[in-house]
Copies of this chain bind each other. A is one copy, B any other.
Amino acid sequence: MKKETENSIHKNDSKQLARFAKALGHPTRIAILKHLESQSCCFTGDLVEIFPLAQSTISQHLKELKNAGLIQGEVNPPKIKYCINKENWKTAKGLFQGFFE
């Protein structure tokens, strides 16, 4: 059983919140997420067409969003379909809400 002070819980929350915030800290990633919210899902190629960025750059941004847990990809050969990770999205929403009161 894990023993945690209230303080360390807050610290963990701060870390997690910062992690999410960092992932949101680039206009392209915000735009990608907005697109995913509106479309529910999309392929990497769709984004490459929308944004004036190289395919490798888009891929890198997707990787960061995935690492932060905000999106998830499922293979749908030969394409990969990206969606919002609803669980973590909810967590992020809650953390930001709590932060701003």
Contact = CB atoms under 8 A, between A and B. Distances in A.
A12 B13 CA distance: 29
B30 A26 contact: no
Copies in the complex: 2
Interface stretch (A40-48, A75-83, A88-96): A88-96
Given A15-B27, A27-B15, A34-B14, A89 B100 contact: yes
Interface in A17-61: 17-18, 21-27, 29-31, 33-34, 37
Nearest to A30: B14
* 8 A-B pairs with the lowest CB-CB distances in the bound complex, closest first: A22-B25, A21-B24, A93-B100, A21-B25, A18-B27, A14-B30, A25-B25, A21-B21
